[in-house]
Chains A and B, each alone.
Chain A
Amino acid sequence: MTGLEAIAAHNGWAIAAVGVSIVFSGLTMLSIVISQLYKVLDFWERRDEFFQRMKGRGAVEDVPRITVSPDMKETVRQYRMLADRLGKPFSLPRLLDLARKCGLVNPHSTINRLLKQEIIVPDGEGYYHWHQSISS
């Protein structure tokens, strides 16, 4: 028996198709795995750095929460909105200036209360930011 008849009789088409597919899938699988291998190894080499960063994130959660009294909630919300316009960290004189321009009452004493209650905290470089427990 010869020709296409012989191929069909011996299941040649199926063997060839399955064979090619297996070779392709085998090498494709291998190529995908080795294309990720260096990333995995890179991660493994920097695992200490990664875990330290994770620890750092955990520390954020350890920051003691401050409680904002109900009467201050609206004030905090308003000043927070103004500070967000100034970016992070922000300058206190500019926040004061902005509060004045917006017509908020007693901006000096309000910002002073926010500072005393540590709702606004200095970053040590002349700028200020909101306490970490006050979510943005």
Chain B
Amino acid sequence: MENMFLEFFSNTGYAMADYRHVVMILIGVTFIYLGIAKHYEPLLLVPIGFGILIGNVPVFKGLGLGIYESNSVLHYLYLGVTSGVYPPLIFLGIGAMTDFSTMLARPLLMLLGAAAQMGIFLTFLGALALGFAPNEAASIGIIGGADGPTAIFLTAKLAPELIGPIAVAAYSYMALVPVIQPPIMRLLTSRKERLIRMEEPRVVGKREKMIFPIIGFLLTCFLAPAALPLLGLLFFGNLLKEAVVTERLAVAARTSIIDSVTILLGMTVGASTQADVFLTSQSVGIFVLGALSFGVATASGLIFAKIINLFVRTKINPLLGAAGVSAVPDSARVVQMVGQEEDPTNFLLMQAMAPNVSGVIGSAIGAGILWSFMS
């Protein structure tokens, strides 16, 4: 009886755990804390945080419990990540909740979204320089797009073994946008520039908004066909929203579909960060490069806005460049916050949404390009 008890105890998580499990559980708890107490992307950090807890309870190999065991329930749920099914469904929901009006009213601001994608390609170079294989470097580079679903999608296609660290890095930095971006924004802009007021955008007609997803889809997907799964569903979701007659479908896309997929994606990505595959020197490199890529993306957007100001008569507030990273709508909110620190009556949020949503399109195109180069 004593032997049975000892045998049972040796098979419990308490006996099998080592310091790495403890570290990962602490990371998971921190995510949950940041999500609930600090309101940093709670819809993502809470599922990921709890997923980290699920993934780091030590289990017997061969019992079909772990996410990497082919017959486990978690593995089936994780198939949505590894097959690249979840990210396009999230894009469908994003499309159904995104209003492209400001971008349609001021198309020039789209270029800020393009400039911020420099972060992707510079990080790609940095990862290559650190010795990562090209496929891995491309997956790490996409963190600079500040777009979780895009990062997961590309990594699932190019370097599935890195999904855990890359997804966690991407979502962590997206949650930390209010912490990472403001110092860079203040460093690269003068007070005078931060005080620039933007003109009220023109009113965009319903027909214009309805035609845009079709034109946007055709133009971008013909250019980068590899971005089809992401951009196709993004623009489709937006058409459902703008078409009015498909309002029921748009509501489903922006509520039940995106919510269900976010739960499954967040939880399984969290669970994929098992201590033995996550706590490696590679993951540390990914986190360092991820932070750098966010910084580079923010700086690229800001600097490009200043360059545009050299050529246009009506100056644009360079802070908008920081919204080119596609963390929607967090980076736009940060622009509003930093702008209002200088002038509480200056409202930049609506204008910042233009580079913000164009950043989503830009990062998906970037992912498509990298995928087509690497495959």
A interface list, Cβ under 8 A from B: 1-4, 6-7, 10, 12-13, 15-16, 18-20, 22-35, 37-38, 41
How many angstroms between the C-alpha atoms of A25 and B141 in the bound complex? 20
Name, among A6, A19, A28, the residue most crowded by chain B CB atoms within 10 Å (CB to CB): A19
The 8 closest A-B pairs by CB, nearest first: A31-B107, A16-B121, A27-B114, A31-B110, A35-B107, A2-B131, A12-B128, A26-B223
Task: Tell me the smallest distance from the CB of A7 to a CB of chain B, in Å.
Answer: 5
List chain A residues, Cβ under 8 A from B361: 27, 30
Q: With A19-B369, A24-B114, A27-B113 in contact, is A37–B125 under 8 Å at CB?
A: no
Task: Tell me the smallest distance from the CB of A19 to a CB of chain B, in Å.
Answer: 5
B interface list, Cβ under 8 A from A: 103-104, 107-108, 110-111, 113-115, 117-118, 120-122, 124-125, 128-131, 134, 137, 204-205, 207-208, 211-212, 215-216, 219-220, 223-224, 358, 361-362, 365-366, 369-370, 373
| Cross-chain contact B208 with A38 (CB below 8 angstroms) | yes
Task: Tell me the smallest distance from the CB of B2 to a CB of chain A, in Å.
Answer: 55
Name, among A2, A7, A18, A34, the residue most crowded by chain B CB atoms within 10 Å (CB to CB): A34
| Cross-chain contact B219 with A20 (CB below 8 angstroms) | no
Task: Tell me the smallest distance from the CB of A87 to a CB of chain B, in Å.
Answer: 37
How many angstroms between the C-alpha atoms of A25 and B224 in the bound complex? 11
| Cross-chain contact A37 with B219 (CB below 8 angstroms) | no
List chain B residues, Cβ under 8 A from A19: 120-121, 124, 366, 369-370, 373
Q: With A23-B362, A26-B365, A31-B107 in contact, is A7–B129 under 8 Å at CB?
A: yes
Task: Tell me the smallest distance from the CB of B106 to a CB of chain A, in Å.
Answer: 9
Interchain CB contact (< 8 A) of B124 among A12, A24, A28: A12
Closest B residue to A13 by CB, please name it: B125
How many angstroms between the C-alpha atoms of A33 and B370 in the bound complex? 25
| Cross-chain contact B365 with A34 (CB below 8 angstroms) | no
| Cross-chain contact B107 with A34 (CB below 8 angstroms) | yes
List chain B residues, Cβ under 8 A from A41: 205, 207-208, 211
List chain A residues, Cβ under 8 A from B362: 23, 26-27
Sampled A-B contacts (13; CB under 8 Å): A2-B130, A20-B117, A20-B121, A22-B365, A24-B114, A27-B111, A30-B361, A31-B107, A37-B104, A37-B208, A37-B212, A38-B104, A41-B207
How many angstroms between the C-alpha atoms of A1 and B132 in the bound complex? 9
How many angstroms between the C-alpha atoms of A24 and B220 in the bound complex? 11
